[in-house]
Amino acid sequence: MKLSEAVSQLHNARAAHKAWVARAEALIVGINVNKEHIPMLPTDCIFGQWYYGSGQMLRNLPAYHAIEKSHDDLHRIYMHIFKLLFDEPDVSAWGGLFGQQAKVKAVQLKKAEALLPRLQSISEEVCELLETLEKQLIETATHQSSMK
């Protein structure tokens, strides 16, 4: 594969990652987003499909392996946020009658919002690692072409 194609794939993967995070952020702040469009598993999102698919061509570069943990952490936090937002609160029938369910939902929303900065921080880590991966890719390709 040509260097330009590999870099283009890397840019597309980064864009897919940013779009996923933007949809997750929108969901947390209450914007109507189809929650099914935000895959929970690291292997199901577009970035994960690239990472575990054609992105494997970069597995010999050090930054490639560092991305996996951050990407998995991102999905783990999102899964927690998703459960907070969409799992039904556990309140008794009497508690539901007296507005307890709304209070529990408000508490769950606050917890989800509190996780947003961590989600954003991990997303930044992933983007920084992708930049490092791109630099390593270019350096490796440049080095290999100068050896010829």
pLDDT single digits (tens) 13-39? 899 889 888 888 888 888 877 767 777
**CB burial string 58-92: b at 16+ within 10 A, e below:** beebebbebbeebbebbbebbeebbebbeeebebe
Q: What band does 43 get if pLDDT is binned at 50, 70 and 90?
A: very high
Whether 102 has a pLDDT exceeding 80, the answer reads no
Whether 89 has a pLDDT exceeding 70, the answer reads no
Q: Is the pTM of this model over 0.85?
A: no
Q: What band does 92 get if pLDDT is binned at 50, 70 and 90?
A: low
Whether 2 has a pLDDT exceeding 90, the answer reads no
What lies within 8 Å, CB to CB, of 89 at 6+ separation is 101, 104, 105, 108
Whether 135 has a pLDDT exceeding 80, the answer reads yes
49-72 average pLDDT score: 93
5-16 average pLDDT score: 90
